[in-house]
Amino acid sequence: MRNLWRSLWYGLSLADFLRVELRWTPVRRIFTIRLFAVLMFISLVSVTLRPPPTIALSFAFVMMLGSAMTDYAMTLLTALRLVKLVLIAIGLSILSLALWGDQPWFLVPWSFGLITLLLFHARTTGSPTIMAVLYVAVVLMNAEQPGRNIYSALWLFPTLVMLTFGSALVAHLTLWPQDPLDELKQHLSGRLDTIIHMLDRLVAPGQADAANGDPPLRDRPRPGAISRHFHLLGNAEYAHPEIKAKRPEWTDLIVEIDTWFNNVSALTRLVQGRETPRRFGGREFSRLLDNAALCRELRADFLESKVPRPEPAPRLPEHTAPKPPSDPPVAHFVHRLDDAASRIRKTLADLHGAEAQAPAFGARPEPKFEPPGLPALLGRAYWIDNIDALHFGMKFALATLVCLLVIEALHWPDIGTAMLTCVIVAQSSLGASYRMSLLRIVGAILGGVLAYTFIIAVQPALDTVAGFLLAIAPVCWLAAWVGSGSPRIAYIGTQIGFSFANAVLPGYGPVTHLASAWDRVLGILLGIVVAGLIDYLVWPQHSERMSMARLVATLRTLGKFLSLETASADKALSAGALMRSIDADLQRSASLLEHAEIEPGAQKPEAAARVYAIDLVLDAMHGVARVVQARHRYHLDSSFRAKTQPLLERQDALNQALSETLSRMIHRIEQKPSPPAPSCRPLLTQLENSARELISTPGMDWETQKSILACVDLDKILLDYMEGLESLVDNLGDTSSPASIQRG
């Protein structure tokens, strides 16, 4: 039970969880003040203009938008997206009420089908469940009053679109507006700071002896960072269209900094993982010091938008006749650090230079992944591929209608929040739904207690609007402070604000009926119980299985990428989108594993061991993906390809063998008969021989020699990572049923 309690708070004690999630930072200060200003403005409008009770929804939706208010481009894009969803929800609600509002025998099955489709759309597109929430709030919360419900639906446009989203946009554009380009620069600068920190720790006297534990969490490469950077780059292009001309350079910079970070982190873990502390000396020590100094210099040039100074001329004899390294694994990484620094210097020169970089394979645009059109939606294959999303919509639509029948049977409309709860806690997996339910009930109880305290102790003494606003300001500040946190806690703040507003804002005046807040909590409890039972009993979607499905999808994507010819245009054009897709899949898989720890049976030793084993596989796959990404950067250089054609042919053969190895891992996870693993070591030996022949070619320039050595080093690292990943996959055993993995 104690382990389950800690799992609810992501492996921390409750005190530590709150300390981490509620800490006051400069970024959080900005988000909190913005949200607080918008909540107070909504409260002012509510008590002066007296809109319908749906005004309380504005509290929830403005805080939903608040998590996306990272920069003004993202705020505008998110607001436009939510406006479209709100308008569709209004239209569907009015249509449903006009057709079946006074005919419950038709309204119930119609609502089941419509909610299923709305949740299906949210699941397949990754959009919020806002349409399903608004439909339930408008059509089903007071199903016996269709005329009044149409009136409430029409009021959604001024209250949500104009008041909520409009005030949020104004707040963001006036209160410390954040430029997405500046945000991107801060993130990349922070990445370089971390590289400097790790390099300093490697070369500091006595640091190797002191570094016995794992590196800090921020020093570990984890999925999601590169996706975040590309997301900011897209927002920056929206806000500053002129930087689209430099997109290839920005893309190269993001990837090269990520590669440098991954190599420094891998070297740190390699050194710390040895029983005997590793001391750097001589040439290695000097090269690491040079790397740290160069990183500081490049960071300053990047922030000042300066072209870096040219790279000093190399000493050719040292590179044309390299001595065998005394510690090959460390030598591979140190050599990679030198080359990564050189590539970032070149990328910054291209970025801050006058001319835009020409695409590696002509001017063809990078392919975009578009949602399926109408023909695909009508095809049987589409629905088979998305059967889990259809089950997801049907389950929570059923839970919503069960709550509707219970409410009507008890003649207790005040617990209508049960239906809203069913669509709000609808998450992709059992664990995610349980965690959302926990956040919702905690926020509802806190908001209800604050509402009762306000109604009983404070409201009787208020007789002016100004006094009312001053009295509710602390609660609005609390809701904004909690709601501006990470997704792990933000929904508690949303629920505090919604519960408090739902009990206090409508009616503005002395309250004689105190049951509203209590009924709301009871309704939420009813919705959590009904939705939780149906989610568990009907097509349960376990987080562990879904995490494994994401890993299998990533293995397939990597295998397809490796199976392409090294110098093919298709591979070059798909590289950026591919790596973002892999990074997002791995991040989602890691998130699902966190939720798996609170599902029924997750505390059993065998279940905990499976989750730990999957986490090891995820970490290994992330390493493989990053090495593949780093190695592919060399193949985009037309000059390198022209001079190393024999080497690329050897790499194609190695890639095919690695692709077959990934296919074998997929068969192993799906518990299918798998062919014997191909032998990659002989192919690596042939690759090394080809590299030596190229390096010894008369007239081969030093820069190409260095790139060949770095590329071969990456092949060695990749093969080591692949062998480790294969061993971890073989040790997974029977973690899931084959059918569930394939369908996920």
Closest CA to 222 of 729, 573, 593: 593
Residue 359: the pLDDT is 43
Sorted by sequence, the CB contacts under 8 Å of residue 497 that are 6+ apart come out as 39, 59, 60, 63, 447, 475, 476, 479, 480, 483
> What is the C-alpha separation between 735 and 738, in angstroms, rounded?
9
Assign 362 to helix, strand or coil: strand
Sorted by sequence, the CB contacts under 8 Å of residue 355 that are 6+ apart come out as none
Residue 394: the pLDDT is 93
Residue 112: the pLDDT is 95
88 class by beta-carbon count within 10 Å (0-12 exposed, 13-18 middle, 19+ buried): middle
Amino acid at 450: L
Residue 481: the pLDDT is 92
Residues 552, 553, 559: CA angle, nearest 5 degrees = 90
The token pair that represents 736 in the structure block? 């899931």
From residue 206, alpha-carbon distances to 203, 210, 213, 301, 329 in Å are 9, 7, 14, 31, 21
Residue 679 has phi, psi (to 5 degrees) of -90, 115
This prediction's pTM: 0.80
Dihedral of alpha carbons 117, 118, 123, 125, sign: positive
Sorted by sequence, the CB contacts under 8 Å of residue 234 that are 6+ apart come out as none
Tokens 């095919």 correspond to 656
Average pLDDT of adjacent 10-residue blocks, the chain of 744 residues:
71 84 87 90 84 72 70 80 90 90 87 94 87 91 83 86 84 84 89 88 58 45 77 86 85 84 80 61 76 88 84 52 51 75 85 58 41 58 82 93 92 87 86 86 88 85 86 92 87 87 70 70 89 89 86 85 61 61 83 82 79 86 82 74 80 86 85 77 85 81 77 83 86 52 42
> What is the C-alpha separation between 1 and 81, in angstroms, rounded?
42
> What is the C-alpha separation between 96 and 99, in angstroms, rounded?
5
The token pair that represents 589 in the structure block? 């898989």
Sorted by sequence, the CB contacts under 8 Å of residue 66 that are 6+ apart come out as 31, 34, 35, 38, 168, 480, 483, 484
Please answer whether residues 493 and 483 qualify as being in contact, where contact means their C-beta atoms are separated by less than 8 angstroms: yes
The token pair that represents 101 in the structure block? 């509002």
Residues 435, 440, 446: CA angle, nearest 5 degrees = 130
> What is the C-alpha separation between 527 and 57, in angstroms, rounded?
18
> What is the C-alpha separation between 85 and 64, in angstroms, rounded?
13
Q: How many other CB atoms are found less than 10 A from the CB of residue 399?
A: 28
> What is the C-alpha separation between 595 and 587, in angstroms, rounded?
13
Please answer whether residues 187 and 228 qualify as being in contact, where contact means their C-beta atoms are separated by less than 8 angstroms: yes
Closest CA to 213 of 277, 133, 145, 135: 277
Please answer whether residues 603 and 4 qualify as being in contact, where contact means their C-beta atoms are separated by less than 8 angstroms: yes
> What is the C-alpha separation between 272 and 212, in angstroms, rounded?
6
* 360 HSE (CA, 13 A, CB side): 26
DSSP line for 277-326: PPPP-HHHHHHHHHHHHHHHHHHHHHHTT-PPPPPPPP-HHHHHSPPPPS
Q: Give the total residue count for the chain.
A: 744
Dihedral of alpha carbons 424, 429, 433, 435, sign: negative
Closest CA to 75 of 138, 158, 166, 140: 166
Terminal Cα-to-Cα distance of the chain (whole angstroms): 30
Sorted by sequence, the CB contacts under 8 Å of residue 592 that are 6+ apart come out as 428, 429, 431, 432, 543, 544, 546, 547, 550
Three state DSSP letters for 193-253: HHHHHHHHHHHCCCHHHHCCCCCCHHHCCCCCHHHHHHHHHHHHHHHCHHHHHHHHHHHHH
Tokens 């919509």 correspond to 393
> What is the C-alpha separation between 692 and 709, in angstroms, rounded?
9
Sorted by sequence, the CB contacts under 8 Å of residue 262 that are 6+ apart come out as 221, 623, 626, 627, 630
Assign 644 to helix, strand or coil: coil
Tokens 């922070």 correspond to 190
Residue 280: the pLDDT is 62
Residue 235: the pLDDT is 85
Q: What counts of helices (H) and strands (E) characterise the chain?
A: 32, 0
422 class by beta-carbon count within 10 Å (0-12 exposed, 13-18 middle, 19+ buried): buried
Q: Which residues pair with 222 in a beta bridge?
A: none
Residue 68: the pLDDT is 65
* Helix intervals (H) in 696-743: 702-732, 738-743
Q: Which residues pair with 360 in a beta bridge?
A: 362
Please answer whether residues 172 and 127 qualify as being in contact, where contact means their C-beta atoms are separated by less than 8 angstroms: no
Sorted by sequence, the CB contacts under 8 Å of residue 672 that are 6+ apart come out as 738
> What is the C-alpha separation between 387 and 380, in angstroms, rounded?
10
Q: How many other CB atoms are found less than 10 A from the CB of residue 712?
A: 24
